[in-house]
Amino acid sequence: MSDYKQYIRNFSIIAHIDHGKSTLADRMIEMTGTVSHRDMRDQYLDNMELERERGITIKLQTTRMVFHSKDGNEYIFNLIDTPGHVDFTYEVSRSLAACEGAVLVVDATQGVEAQTLANVYLAMDEDLEIMPVLNKIDLPSARPDEVRDEIEEVIGVEAQDAPLVSAKEGTGVDELLEEIVQKIPAPSGDENARLKALIFDSYYDNYKGVVIYTRIFDGQVKEGDMIRLMNTNKKYEVTEVGVYSPGPVECNCLRAGEVGYICASIKHVADARVGDTITLDDAPADEPLPGYKKVPSMVYCGIYPAEGEKYENVKDALEKLQVNDAAFHFEPETSTALGYGFRCGFLGLLHMEIIVERLEREFDLSVITTSPSVIYRVVKNDGTVVMVQNPSNLPDPMEIDHVEEPMVRADIMVPKEYVGSIMEICQERRGRMIHMEYITKTRVNLHYDMPLNEVIYDFFDALKSKTRGYGSLDYEFTKYEPSKVVKLDILLNKEIVDAFSMIVHESKAYARGRFVCEKLKEIIPKHQFEVPIQASIGQKIIARETVRAYRKDVIAKCYGGDISRKKKLLEKQKEGKKRMRQFGTVEVPQEAFTAVLKYDDNK
Amino acid sequence: MTITSSDNNIGLYVHVPFCLRKCRYCDFLSFECRDDRALHQYANALMREIETRYEEWPYKVVDTVYIGGGTPSILSETDMKHIMECITDNFTVVDGSEITIEVNPATIDEKKLETYLAAGINRISIGTQSFDNSILNMLGRVHNKNDALNAIRLAKKAGFKNINVDMMFGIPGQTLKMWRDSLRQCIFLRPEHISLYSLQIEEGTPFYQMMEKGTIDPVSENVDRTMYHDALDMLENAGYHHYEISNAALPGFESRHNLKYWSYKEYLGMGLGASSFIGGYRFKNTSSMLEYVNFIKQGLPPVKKEDVENYSLRDEMGIYVFTALRKREGFDIRDFEETFGTDFFYVYDPMLITKLRGLIKMDGFVMKLTDKGLDVSNQVMAEFV
């Protein structure tokens, strides 16, 4: 009984985005026969349509596989697939805490990237055994020897005998599975001790209520047990326990060392917060497991129901999304331009884009998002401090002593030929270089202190664009620093549209004001009257554009009685109007709100 | 959806999709063709379709025929004569019907015109567009100013008592003065009917590419509208009745065929890509010549299933309104209510009238576009679809 644990391996795969993590996971699932070849589809664990489409993993997934090793034993592998983007560091840290080891996938053509490093550090924080693997060795441009040296040099883990695999073609995957058995430690823990289990993810199921993904550290849990969540101190009766393989499979009990799911008719996801510890009500553990690393929201924006969309529906959808995503939160707010809506906090821009896209796709909602903002620390003359995440809430300039903005330490890895242009875009964004190091002969790691504000607008897009996609970025909040920021307002037809207001650095105000005015001029359709677009700081107008009135909107010819063609044109026009948002007498297309944020290569 | 117009007489439209040369602005269904045999084959196919179509709608009485294109006058006299015979042999065409043919000034001569008249064609529409050689050249027309003048003269001499001249404005390079001069010239010739078209640069045309490259500058909206309203004033002063957005005529010469399109009347289109509204159905012939010929060979109407529209009653109401608004006299909402058996303001929010103030006006029960509404008619029409 006591030796079942030695046949369990709990591990994650960590990698930089695009290094083939999901493909490798697919191959493992297929080669262990967890899913029959017939049912196999690409990127098996990326369930969300959005994930498949973008080719990225957003939500972590877990699956149990049975591996028949050459040593004659049967091993249980619990693989926890994790997201790869900088915004989801938090999700990665959650899943890592449930593992004993991490398979580090490095693209043999590209080498170590910023995100690879960031993930490795997270894994090291959790004391995981790190097992490097070189992927994409089937490509002619693979340079495994160099990349091995790179891994040892940069990360400091032994890599000379790292398996060479091609996840795409399946070569080397068998050896890799054997290696996992050898290298990754079996879980420890005592199944007879009091229950201690970690919630590392959860989602809401319409039939079962909240489904908790958990790693049992000590003790065991089965159907009918009364469990207690140590953080919220709430009690529930377990209705089902099981494992994912990769679909849910019910089982009798989950024991120390195992990974699986628990259902306990939990109605509110907020009651089963990720990071909480599960224990038994009648025999509770003395203390909860060490808490998860809590990542605060870095970026805020307003989300408003678009024309014709119900406030309640948006609220319900946000609540449902919040269930699965502890890093996302929201509260009601109102805007004079957009009415009732929500102020939402995100980990970063991608996180924000994903939430908005999910609202649109999974919940079929149409929403408007306002300019993202960081949280400013405003110190007033009387010494009080206000945290401002909505530009509309910035106190009157007369009352402000000074404002502080959040700074991040940004690590940017680029091939050396791009260093010049990267320095340029960092400088434009008020970055201060701390130092620069050569990782290899051709690759450089640049360390910058930068205002988060500058990073969230368009930095990532600019970086990708300037380095043809070769640059990678990781950043981490460091501190608040005094800064000269001002509130920039946008006026349409002389009226402030608060949804466009933003807080920007003084030195950027003119350029950004001009940029927004120009962008809006392109996007706002002609009206029957002239529409002035202005940018202002306080009372002072700093930029102006005008949308000229249209004089003509006709289709002269309607040939040979082809009414349907004209009808379609008119319908399209009408449809376009529906997607407009009315501000006073001015109609603004919804895409205007995101368009003013996009990086423009020509700027 | 089946709605039949109260007036049972229908219009026939016959499409000839060939031109000597494709104009630079043209995005109509038309091909360059100088091969007499191909033209003749098309004429034969067309006649087969006319026979097939008659069998489908034998009880329909025709009081307008419109032979359009392309350039119908590109067909030989014999072919045109046979097509007309085919129409009158099959369909019941009432006496006094309006029978129009479109011609290009460069493709007609006395003999052709006489054939047309003898075949029963009593209205001719001449694709003049302009009396300015530089503009005609710019448009890529095959004719010049003299051809245009000559064509109108020939038509009159041959005995046509109902002549339309197409005029186009808003052409890159065209000044206000050039436009006024051309139109003055046109009015001086006193055709019974004048069509005014504001040039639209459509995607996929050579003009569009030229615009993209920057070799031509589209005329500004301001200039375009000034040209339009100047033209309306000139026409009105000369005694023409501006009866539809792009058409004016001496009293009594309003095009009865075109008015069918705007008055929710039935029409049957024949030939490649022709549209029909008949027996409560709207459909469109295939635009592929190969498919067309195949359908005809099998004795079938050349309509693909997906080209039969499946409009709801509400769709049809929208069509009724947006077509009717093209007429200067507008429409009587009681006629709408009689056609659809429902209250107009039950279907449309009365607030629309306020919203569109300045663009439409109500005269008792009659709704029509204002002068300002003419310039932005799409904005108005989009509210009703």
Write out the DSSP string of B158-225.
HT-S-EEEEEEE--TT--HHHHHHHHHHHHHH--SEEEEEE----TTSHHHHHHHHTSS-PPPHHHHH
- Higher-pLDDT residue of A89, B155: B155
Strands B31-32 and A586-589: unpaired
Give the list of residues 6+ apart from residue A448 with CB closer than 8 angstroms, or none: A409, A410, A412, A426, A431, A432, A433, A434
Per-residue pLDDT, A20: 75
Indicate whether A602 pLDDT > 50: no
pLDDT band at A86 (very low <50, low <70, confident <90, very high): low
Per-residue pLDDT, B2: 42
pLDDT band at A390 (very low <50, low <70, confident <90, very high): confident
Question: How much of chain A is helix, strand and coil, in % rounded to 5?
Answer: 30, 35, 35
Q: Does B256 touch chain A (CB under 8 A)?
A: no
- Long-range contact pairs involving B36-39 (C-beta distance under 8 Å, separation at least 24): B36/B76, B39/B74, B39/B75, B39/B76, B39/B79
pLDDT band at A326 (very low <50, low <70, confident <90, very high): low
Give the list of residues 6+ apart from residue B16 with CB closer than 8 angstroms, or none: B42, B46, B67, B68, B69, B70, B71, B72, B74, B75, B271
By three-state DSSP, how is residue A295 classified?
Answer: coil
Residues of chain A contacting B379 with CB distance shorter than 8 Å: 528, 553, 573
* A39 within 8 A of A26, measured Cβ to Cβ: no
Backbone angles phi, psi at A405, to 5 degrees: -120, 155
User: B313 to chain A, minimum CA–CA distance in Å?
Assistant: 14
Strands A376-380 and A385-388: antiparallel
Q: Please indicate whether, in this complex, the C-beta atoms of B284 and A573 are within 8 angstroms of each other.
A: no
ipTM computed for the complex: 0.89
Q: What is the mean pLDDT of residues A201-226?
A: 88
Q: How far is the CA of B253 from the CAs of A46, B228, B231, B237, B267, in angstroms?
A: 69, 21, 18, 17, 20
* Structure-derived torsion over alpha carbons of residues A496, A500, A506, A507, reported in degrees to the nearest 10: -120
Q: At what angle do helices A89-96 and A114-125 cross, to 10 degrees?
A: 40
Per-residue pLDDT, B3: 44
Per-residue pLDDT, A89: 66
Quick: pLDDT tens for A482-503.
999 999 999 999 988 888 888 9
Q: Rg of chain A's alpha carbons, rounded to an integer?
A: 27
Dihedral sign, Cα of residue A272, residue A278, residue A282, residue A287: negative
* A327 within 8 A of A347, measured Cβ to Cβ: yes
A203: enclosing H helix or E strand: strand A196-205
With CA atoms as reference, the chain A residue closest to B28 would be A559
Q: Please indicate whether, in this complex, the C-beta atoms of B376 and A570 are within 8 angstroms of each other.
A: no
Name residues 6-65 of chain B within 8 A of A (Cβ): 13, 15, 28
The closest of A268, A198, A257 to A227, measured between CA atoms, is A198
Residues of chain B contacting A552 with CB distance shorter than 8 Å: 198, 221, 224-225, 375-376
Q: Please indicate whether, in this complex, the C-beta atoms of B385 and A551 are within 8 angstroms of each other.
A: no
Eight-state DSSP code of residue B249: E
What b/e sequence results for B23-60 when a residue is b if at least 16 CB atoms lie within 10 Å of its CB, and e otherwise?
bbbbbbbbeebeeeeebeebbbbbbbbbebbbeebeeb
With CA atoms as reference, the chain A residue closest to B376 would be A553
Give the list of residues 6+ apart from residue A284 with CB closer than 8 angstroms, or none: A194, A228, A230
Nearest-by-Cβ selection for B318 from A557, A567, A573: A567
User: A548 to chain B, minimum CA–CA distance in Å?
Assistant: 11
Per-residue pLDDT, A291: 58
With CA atoms as reference, the chain B residue closest to A528 would be B376
Global pTM value: 0.62
Per-residue pLDDT, B113: 96
Domain chopping of chain B, boundaries = 10-262, 313-382
Which tokens belong to B159?
Answer: 């005995």
User: A581 to chain B, minimum CA–CA distance in Å?
Assistant: 16
With CA atoms as reference, the chain A residue closest to B259 would be A561
Q: Which residues pair with A582 in a beta bridge?
A: A587
Residues of chain A contacting B224 with CB distance shorter than 8 Å: 551-552
Q: Which residues pair with A329 in a beta bridge?
A: A345
Angle at B382 between CA B380 and CA B385, to 5 degrees: 120
The closest of A469, A485, A467, A350 to A405, measured between CA atoms, is A485
User: A558 to chain B, minimum CA–CA distance in Å?
Assistant: 9
Q: Does B259 touch chain A (CB under 8 A)?
A: no
Residue-averaged pLDDT of chain A:
83
CA distance B36 to B74: 9
User: A577 to chain B, minimum CA–CA distance in Å?
Assistant: 9
Per-residue pLDDT, A288: 83
Largest CA distance in chain B: 59
Indicate whether A270 pLDDT > 80: no
Q: Which residues pair with A588 in a beta bridge?
A: A581
Q: Which residues pair with A432 in a beta bridge?
A: A449
Angle at B140 between CA B139 and CA B146, to 5 degrees: 90
- Higher-pLDDT residue of A582, B210: B210
Indicate whether A545 pLDDT > 60: yes
pLDDT band at A36 (very low <50, low <70, confident <90, very high): low
* B167 within 8 A of B130, measured Cβ to Cβ: yes
Backbone angles phi, psi at B284, to 5 degrees: -140, 135
Per-residue pLDDT, B204: 86
CA distance A535 to A537: 7
Angle at B280 between CA B55 and CA B29, to 5 degrees: 75
Q: What is the mean pLDDT of residues A78-92?
A: 69
User: A95 to chain B, minimum CA–CA distance in Å?
Assistant: 53
* A549 within 8 A of A530, measured Cβ to Cβ: yes
Backbone angles phi, psi at B112, to 5 degrees: -60, -45
Per-residue pLDDT, B207: 92
Q: Does B326 touch chain A (CB under 8 A)?
A: yes
Distance between start and end Cα atoms, chain B: 16
Give the list of residues 6+ apart from residue A463 with CB closer than 8 angstroms, or none: A412, A422, A425, A471, A473
Quick: pLDDT tens for A425-446.
999 889 999 999 887 777 788 9
By three-state DSSP, how is residue B154 classified?
Answer: helix
Which tokens belong to A420?
Answer: 């010049």
| Residue spans of chain B under pLDDT 70 | 1-7
Per-residue pLDDT, A295: 61
Eight-state DSSP code of residue A542: E
Give the CATH number of domain B10-262; options: 1.10.10.10, 3.40.50.1820, 3.30.390.30, 3.20.20.70.
3.20.20.70
CATH topology classification for B313-382: Arc Repressor Mutant, subunit A (1.10.10)
CA distance B371 to B328: 9
Q: Does B379 touch chain A (CB under 8 A)?
A: yes
The residues on A that touch B, with CB distances below 8 Å, are 528, 550-564, 566-567, 569-571, 573-574, 577
Q: Rg of chain B's alpha carbons, rounded to an integer?
A: 21
What b/e sequence results for A283-314 when a residue is b if at least 16 CB atoms lie within 10 Å of its CB, and e otherwise?
ebbeebbeebeebebbbbbbbbbbeebeeeeb
Residues of chain B contacting A569 with CB distance shorter than 8 Å: 378
> Within A496-579, where are the H helices?
506-523, 563-578
Indicate whether A47 pLDDT > 70: no
Give the list of residues 6+ apart from residue B37 with CB closer than 8 angstroms, or none: none
* Structure-derived torsion over alpha carbons of residues B339, B341, B347, B353, reported in degrees to the nearest 10: 60
CA distance A115 to A410: 11
Give the list of residues 6+ apart from residue A390 with CB closer than 8 angstroms, or none: A300, A302, A333, A343, A373
CA distance A224 to A227: 9
Indicate whether A272 pLDDT > 80: no
With CA atoms as reference, the chain B residue closest to A563 would be B319
With CA atoms as reference, the chain A residue closest to B67 would be A560
A232-236, A241-245, A317-321, B11-15: which has the highest mean pLDDT? B11-15
Backbone angles phi, psi at A475, to 5 degrees: -145, 160
Nearest-by-Cβ selection for A573 from B245, B309, B382: B382
Q: Please indicate whether, in this complex, the C-beta atoms of A561 and B277 are within 8 angstroms of each other.
A: yes
Q: Which residues pair with B282 in a beta bridge?
A: B277
Q: Please indicate whether, in this complex, the C-beta atoms of B267 and A561 are within 8 angstroms of each other.
A: yes
Interface test with B, best of A526, A530, A548, A551 (most B CBs within 10 A): A551
Per-residue pLDDT, A571: 87
Quick: pLDDT tens for A120-170.
877 887 889 999 999 988 888 888 888 898 888 888 888 888 888 888 888
Interface test with A, best of B321, B378, B380 (most A CBs within 10 A): B378
Per-residue pLDDT, B6: 42
